[in-house]
Copies of this chain bind each other. A is one copy, B any other.
Amino acid sequence: MTKMPDNDTFVFEQPCPIRDVLDRIGDQWSLLIMETLAPGTLRFNALMREIGDISKQMLSRTLKQLEQDGFITRTLYPEVPLRVEYALTDLGHSFLEPMQQLITWAETHHRTIVIARERYQST
């Protein structure tokens, strides 16, 4: 991204906020999970059912990432059987706002892109 200064002291510093955020939403599931949580709190298996084609593995991993970055909260109720609820934080909600702009753009221009691709094929 931006040219880094030749200073290995800060190898673990994230120099580029955009990359850092894009890595998160660019992955397979993060955005979808956040959108799914947008209406309200959900439990682990409820999330799995809502999303439909995600594995336990990926749901678990992605949720942990999102929690770690402060996009969602994880609340454990030590009942029997266990209950764990996931919810968007304010940060998570605020993220979905600019994201919604992009989603709208995607929906609006998707056809144009698909057509461009087909045209390119036939060249």
Contacts and interface: CB of A to CB of B under 8 A. Distances in A.
A114 to B, nearest CB: 7
**By DSSP majority rule, is chain A's interface helix, strand, loop, or mixed?**
helix
A20 B51 CA distance: 17
Interface in A106-122: 106-107, 109-110, 112-114, 116-117, 120
A37 to B, nearest CB: 16
Given A26-B25, A31-B18, A117-B69, A91 B112 contact: yes
Contact of A27 (B17, B26, B113): B26
Contacts of A26: 22, 25-27
Contacts of A55: none
